[in-house]
A and B are shown apart, each in its own frame.
Chain A
Amino acid sequence: MIVELGHFALILAFGVSIFQMIVPMVGAHRGWGSWMAAAGPAATAQFLLVAASFVALTVAFVTSDFSVALVAANSHTAKPLLYKISGVWGNHEGSLLLWVLILTLFGAMAAWFGGNLPPRLKARVLAVQSAIGVAFFAFILFTSNPFLRLEFPPFDGGDLNPLLQDPGLAFHPPFLYLGYVGLSMSFSFAVAALIEGRVDAAWGRWVRPWTLAAWLFLTIGIGLGSWWAYYELGWGGFWFWDPVENASFMPWLISVALLHSAIVVEKREALKAWTILLAILAFGFSLIGAFIVRSGVLTSVHAFANDPERGVFILLILMVFMGGAFLLYALRAGAMEAKGVFGLVSRESALVLNNLLLAVSALVVFVGTIWPLLSEIFFDRTLSVGPPFFNAAFGPFVIAMAVALPIGAMVPWKRAKLGRVAKSLVPVAVLAAAGALLAYSVFTGQSAMGPMFIGLSVWLVFGAVLDLWTRTGRKSIQERFGRLWRLPRADWGKAVAHGGLGITLFGIAALTTYESEDIRVATLGEPYEVGAYTVMLETARELQGPNYVALQGEVAVTRNGRDVATMFPERRFYPVAGMPTTEAAIDNGFTRDLYVVLGEGQSGGFVLRVYIKPFANWIWGGSIIMALGGALSLTDRRYRVAAGAARPVQGGVPAE
């Protein structure tokens, strides 16, 4: 019964979305206030209906209602509660429902918090947002209905893929979708602005918080996914340039570009057409991501539901929305004239460079990702494009961006002299060079790549510190410290996010260059040396988990006779899914992770892999700091007071 109610709510939401797509749009066109005003309540209703539907499906999963086909295929009574819940989105149909839940949530939030938007723009934004909803409701209801019942319910379910039964991965999809789908809001704003035919500083200010929120969630989502890969896949890789990873990375890159170009629109009323294009592209890449994950045209480690028919449907959605948006863009973008004029050396130009590098690097990832497909279709060559290509093709962009970032972040607006900025950055450059030299001398005989990237990360972090410090003026030290705390949150957000990027870069450089590894058959009770540590496999025993059996090793790690850690690596077997997994034991440290994996039993012992991973945690620490920077910026007071306050906009509402 609850399941049917959920199904019914979803159908109702589909109806409401069609209403919300048409009525406010017509209202905005004709200037009918009541028709425009209908968008708000409709957006709220849509969200509540989808939420009810989502709750219904969750109840079916939690109560293990195996008469629902989806539950029977993806759940099991013995599964822990957390994974029963995360099982809701651990499959194609359920994850689509999560997708529309978030889509309608963003629509409803625009309705709730969009009080300072001009009513006409607001109506159009909500109508466009709802049009996306219509497409996805149709997709779910006609091809991927999660509420279908089975005629003969099985006794027990088929279990969730054991690799997905993990806390990191339980929360990875919701964050990722908050990011992907959040970009739909920027898209809706862009299309609404094109219909309106007007982009001004206020528009830049309205669209930025949504992009910032989407980017923030995407950052956390990608970070979680990478962290999961690090500890779950069994050898501590954290990024594989897999098509599915690239699918999340491309919108991330474009949304970073969009964030920065929207600043130029907001502050200087330039780059308008380009910003609109980025907003369209960002969501376009989100849809491409959905297509890659769900169609199975590109083989990947974690693509699920490889069904060509669904792929065709997403391709259709992609074509309709991107085609429509680009057509509108071609017709209207020419009318968006820039107001602010800037010189070749200026903050604006620096942000153009930022955008250029980010957009092209996203396109490079895109070309690399679909190249196997293109090559097979057009040149009849089956080939692979793997990590070595991406590292070689993407690396130079990272270097260029890292070199330019601290300079660009400090160049004044409009017209500037490069010499002045360069002069103030000299101490940071010296520090960076010292960092690189230190890395080079500590680890002799290594390639120059590691030290160079470490130097760059020092450059980024201290560049961000200097940027913030420079904002405090030229008075006495005490006064400057006082001012530091009173700086706008957006300034803090900028410095923190840029610093976070440096920290992530440092972690990646240290881990990939200076990792050490030891693989051997470890005899029980016999200690051996790995780097500065002494490792001993003490015992290996059988273990019964809730829905798996495991072989667990106990490994004692000491350093100079002192205990460092006792670690318990496991190999698990999930009988229902018939799948083995490895659970690496990780001793997290500030300067290094110890990473131990238990392998097969062999004469007199077990295969033991021990890795020392320097500064591994800095990769994810940096991502969290980046996201924190985004959050700081999001709480800046300027977004809460009337947008475009400096220049009153028609229909603007004063601060709450």
Chain B
Amino acid sequence: MKRLLLIVMLLASPLWAVEPGEMLDDPALEERARDVSGGLRCLVCRNESIDESHAELARDLRLLVRERLVEGDSDAEVVEYIVARYGEFVLLRPNASGANMLLWAAGPIMVLLGLILAFVYIRSQSRREAGQQGLSTDEEARLEEILKD
């Protein structure tokens, strides 16, 4: 029974993320391959890159990435090649085109707006105090007058 289960287990066991057999001999090229695949989404998984994923499709994509690299493609060309076949969905780093500009600009715009608002608020309320102090010179003058009497 135990042996049977173990056999089942080996059959059911998924493929693993990057296998030794997949890896390229050239370490520089392999590192580029890891880099590129870290930015590509495994299509059948939930939010994993093909570099981390155990799925078969991820393995195929990993091999494809390496194939293109060996053929001399640049990193950008490899990504372009994959996107052309599998669509924008594979990109874990969405490109900054069209409506996505909004996504990328959201942070800087909000910070800028926030800084302006905060600055205006702090200035206006600290002026209020300064204003009160400014008034107090008049009041001081009056006070002196009163005291003279």
Contacts and interface: CB of A to CB of B under 8 A. Distances in A.
Interface of A: 234-235, 237, 240, 242-243, 270, 299-301, 303, 338, 341-344, 348-349, 352-353, 356-357, 359-361, 363-364, 367-368, 371, 375, 378-379, 381-389, 392-393, 396-397, 519-521, 542, 544, 549, 551, 571, 573, 575, 578, 580, 599-602, 607
A384 B99 contact: no
Sort A-B residue pairs by CB-CB distance and give the 9 closest, nearest first: A386-B92, A573-B9, A388-B93, A341-B129, A364-B107, A356-B114, A379-B99, A360-B110, A549-B5
Nearest to A270: B125
Interface string B103-136: 1101100110011001101110110110000000
A519 B111 contact: no
B100 interface: yes
A353 B119 CA distance: 10
B12 A382 contact: no
Interface centre among B9, B21, B99, B119 (most CB of A within 10 A): B9
A352 B128 CA distance: 18
B6 A235 contact: no
12 contacts: A235-B17, A299-B47, A342-B126, A344-B119, A359-B114, A375-B103, A381-B99, A384-B89, A392-B93, A521-B21, A551-B9, A573-B6
Contacts of A367: 103, 106-107
A607 B46 CA distance: 25
B111 A360 contact: yes
B47 A243 contact: yes
Contact of B126 (A343, A386, A575): A343
Contacts of B13: 571, 573, 580, 600
A397 B107 CA distance: 9
Contacts of A602: 20-21
B98 A384 contact: no
Determine the main DSSP class of B at the interface with A.
Answer: helix
B37 interface: no
B44 to A, nearest CB: 11
Given A344-B122, A352-B118, A607-B20, A237 B2 contact: no
A356 B114 CA distance: 6
B6 A607 contact: no
B72 interface: no
Contacts of A381: 88, 98-100
Contact of B47 (A300, A368, A519, A575): A300
Nearest to A391: B93
Given A364-B107, A393-B107, A388 B92 contact: yes
Contacts of B126: 341-344
Nearest to B127: A341
Interface of B: 2-3, 5-6, 8-10, 12-14, 16-21, 23, 38-39, 41, 46-49, 52, 87-94, 98-100, 103-104, 106-107, 110-111, 114-115, 118-119, 121-123, 125-126, 128-129
A392 B121 CA distance: 30
Contacts of A386: 39, 41, 47, 49, 91-93
Nearest to B43: A384
Contacts of B52: 235, 237
Interface centre among A381, A520, A602 (most CB of B within 10 A): A381
B2 A544 contact: yes
Given A299-B47, A361-B107, A580-B13, 19 more contacts: A341-B126, A342-B122, A348-B122, A360-B107, A360-B111, A368-B103, A375-B100, A379-B98, A381-B88, A381-B98, A382-B88, A384-B94, A519-B20, A551-B9, A573-B6, A575-B5, A580-B12, A601-B10, A602-B21
Contacts of A383: 88-89, 91, 94, 100
Contacts of B10: 600-601
A404 to B, nearest CB: 12
A534 B3 CA distance: 32
Contacts of B8: 573, 575
Contacts of A353: 118
A300 B98 contact: no
Contacts of A338: 125
A57 to B, nearest CB: 28
A434 to B, nearest CB: 30
Contacts of B23: 519
Contacts of B6: 542, 549, 551, 573
Contacts of A300: 46-47
B39 to A, nearest CB: 5
B2 A549 contact: yes
A385 B20 contact: no
Contact of A382 (B21, B87, B104): B87
A370 to B, nearest CB: 10
Contacts of B16: 599-600, 607
A379 B14 CA distance: 36
B36 to A, nearest CB: 11
A341 B128 contact: yes
Given A367-B103, A551-B9, A542 B123 contact: no
B98 to A, nearest CB: 7
